[in-house]
Amino acid sequence: MGILSEVLNLDIYSIISISAIIWIFILYYLSKKSKNFKRIFIVSVMLFNIGYLIWRTLYTIPFSYGIVSFILGIILLTTEWMGFFRRILLNLINGNSISSNKKDSTKKDSKFISSVDILILAGDESIRVLKKTIAACLSIDYDKDLMNIYLCYNTNVEERKALCKELSIHELRRFNDKYGKAGTINHALINSKGEFILLLDGNMVPKASILENTLHYFNDNKIGFVQISKSFYNENPFQYNLNILSKIPNEEDYFFKNLQKHRELHSGVIHEGSNSIFSRNALKTIKNIPNESMGETVEVTMNLQSNGFKSIYTDENLVSGLKPERFIDMVKARKQEYEVRINNYRRIGFSKKSKLSFMQKIIYLEDYTSLFSGIAKLIYIIAPTIYAIFGLWIIETEPLKFLKFWIPNFIAYALWVKLASGNKKTKFWWNHVYNVAFSPFLALSALKAFFIKKKYVVDKEKKVFPKTQIEFSWEVAIPHIVLLIINITAWILFEVMYSNNSSIVKSYMIINLIWSIYNAIAIFITILVCFEKPRFRNEERVITKEQVILRLRYNESHVCEIQDISDGGCKILCRKFQGYDDKSKWQNVRLFSEKLGNLEVEIVWVKEVEGKLQYGLRFLNIDNEMLIQLMKYLA
């Protein structure tokens, strides 16, 4: 070590830092090939983290710069320790690898025959959206004598009553909104009698195979509910407004695609309000949904598990729904969720539930701590600007020594996130962007819910907001504009102060500048998302491929291929033919599909694309039977 130090002119800290980085990269790549190396990698990451934090605690608290610097330094250090604590909880939950054959033994080996009630919990969805959801439910492959569909609502009474009559399903109207979603579900449970209950929000479209692929889990009579993975058929505001859908994952992907799988190993799947199938017997045991929960269902999950019921998570794509289409609506929905959940955790006190297993309590503790992540992120956004603006030190150490400890720790953390989130290339960065985007709002909501005990009224979430021109969401943009101004101000002050300081202070400023820029890029992206682009389509389209026949007037037919389709129309690709733009042929046009049959269509537009013809078609005279077929095709 001494010879190497002399030859490379490196001190002992530099050598340890470089060695640690090399070690963690080697383990990361080996961990993708071996479960044993994965365990060694996770242990190494935790050792790096705790080594860094112990060093931070013993040697970097700013005792010499006054009481304000000391307090700010302790706040930053405490935030880092809390992040490490949550990572410990996540590693305990994720500790066992998931066996890909885990559920195969429970697959149906005989016909599962039981009565099922499908409860569609209508909020403020339009009649069009609700009609699509009901049509998709009617297309489910199951004995229709054993399946009853209920539309549960308390607003837009006449329209919804007429819709139920038109589609021949049951209506369950409440005359008030007391207890929110919990009250709606309990009212429906009293007025229905199926052995199993499928809960769907009004904008959720189930696949035809949803019951076939989930009911068999209830062959084990200790299964309380099956939670189905959430997926969405429209682009969220980040994906749509930035126009880079392929690069941006959904903000909930980590939770639904990974964490729930690991929770299942400990029978700790947390119910998330919809996309789930319950055993009525299990709900009877816990006396249905607790009204005080306002529909936030950590409590119902906890009650079921305390009574010995297990929960299953399936990541099969069996339901698709609509995300809020404006960033401001995403923020409002997330704020409401966090406030209600924190309030419910305070009220029920999961640590007092003696019948929960140790790991189930760990799962709830991790979920609870995650609700305060907005506070931590906001602290990390503000921290690098404090020295420039206020002249306050929050870390007392040599900057280069700090980097030698921090860089291996950060790389280890980044690789851990990448491994935990399924190795998606964009996951770490976009996880940072989402956290920055929501942090000002979730920080305030968490503090309000923690310190102010009150009953929360659950507002109905807006799913769709049609627009015809670009709008700027000032309400959610202003906090980020303020944060961006703070960061830019810090950069200017760094420039002004740079030449008049010692080399140590200069290094400290450079570190804070890089940290600030890292945050500012995410803040700037969030401000761009606040430019809400118009959404011209009334329906979201599904990418697909199917050979079809386009028949024009005079029985002229052409073989084409569907490229995308919605319940309102489709886009097809055909070989170029003579007279393709002759609009006299655009009458009495039909589209023949093996799956959908004979469709009456209208040609809306046609254009040449790389030597071929692309047609935009609108479906005409779609009756309810055809809509059901279309929803089955789309789902």
* pLDDT tens-place string over residues 360-376: 999 999 999 999 999 99
pLDDT of 245 strictly over 60: no
Q: Which amino acid is at 430?
A: W
Using the CB atoms, write b or e for 253-292: b if 16+ within 10 Å.
bbbbbbbbbbbbbbbbbbbbbbbbbbbbebbeebebbbee
CA distances from 371 to 194, 207, 377, 430, 453 (A): 35, 32, 12, 19, 16
Q: H-type helices in 530-623, by residue range?
A: none
Per-residue model confidence (pLDDT) at position 352: 58
Q: Give pLDDT tens digits for 560-576.
A: 999 999 888 999 999 98
By percentage, how much of the chain surpasses pLDDT 90? 51
- d(C-alpha 446, C-alpha 405), whole Å: 31
**Length of the chain, in residues:** 635
Q: Give pLDDT tens digits for 511-554.
A: 999 999 999 999 999 999 999 988 766 677 888 899 999 999 88
Range with the lowest mean pLDDT among 109-113, 430-434, 560-564?
109-113
- d(C-alpha 379, C-alpha 562), whole Å: 50
3-state secondary structure of 462: coil
Contact between residue 269 and residue 98 where contact means Cβ atoms under 8 Å apart: no
Per-residue model confidence (pLDDT) at position 100: 42
Average pLDDT of the segment spanning 114-123: 93
Instruction: Give the residue with greater pLDDT, 534 vs 198.
Output: 198
CA distances from 421 to 27, 65, 238, 251, 334 (A): 17, 40, 19, 12, 21
- Which range of 195-204, 223-232, 244-253 scores highest in mean pLDDT? It is 195-204
Residue 416 phi, psi (nearest 5): -65, -45
pLDDT of 149 strictly over 90: yes
Per-residue model confidence (pLDDT) at position 466: 47
Instruction: Give the residue with greater pLDDT, 455 vs 476.
Output: 476
CB count in 10 Å sphere of residue 399? 19
By percentage, how much of the chain surpasses pLDDT 70? 89
Which are the contacts of 241, defined by CB distance < 8 A and separation ≥ 6?
A: 327, 528, 529, 531, 532, 533
Q: Give pLDDT tens digits for 458-497.
A: 555 444 444 567 889 999 999 999 999 999 999 999 888 8
Q: Helix axis angle, 373-382 relative to 503-529, nearest 10°? A: 130
Which are the contacts of 484, defined by CB distance < 8 A and separation ≥ 6?
A: 520, 523, 524, 527
Domains of the chain: 2-97+372-532 (no CATH), 109-230+272-323 (3.90.550.10), 542-634 (2.40.10.220)
pLDDT of 155 strictly over 70: yes
Identify the residue whose tokens are 């389209």. Answer: 541
CB count in 10 Å sphere of residue 530? 22
Average pLDDT of the segment spanning 98-114: 54
Average pLDDT of the segment spanning 345-352: 73
pLDDT of 617 strictly over 80: yes
Contact between residue 362 and residue 464 where contact means Cβ atoms under 8 Å apart: no
Q: What is the DSSP letter of 102?
A: T
CA distances from 179 to 62, 176, 182, 296, 616 (A): 49, 9, 6, 10, 46
pTM of the predicted protein model: 0.85
| pLDDT, mean over the chain | 86
497: its two tokens: 């102060």
Per-residue model confidence (pLDDT) at position 226: 95
Q: Give pLDDT tens digits for 299-326.
A: 889 899 999 999 999 988 899 888 888 8
Burial class for 193, CB neighbours closer than 10 Å (0-12, 13-18, 19+): exposed
Identify the residue whose tokens are 């980590």. Answer: 254
| Long-range contacts of the stretch 577-585 (C-beta < 8 A, 24+) | 577/613, 580/606, 580/613, 581/606, 584/553, 585/552, 585/553, 585/554, 585/556
Q: How confident is the model at residue 456 (pLDDT cuts 50, 70, 90)?
A: low
Q: Give pLDDT tens digits for 160-181.
A: 999 999 999 999 988 887 878 8
Average pLDDT of the segment spanning 134-144: 94
pLDDT of 108 strictly over 80: no
pLDDT of 101 strictly over 50: no
pLDDT of 387 strictly over 60: yes
Range with the lowest mean pLDDT among 13-17, 345-349, 517-521, 619-623?
345-349
Give strand pairing partners of 311: 225
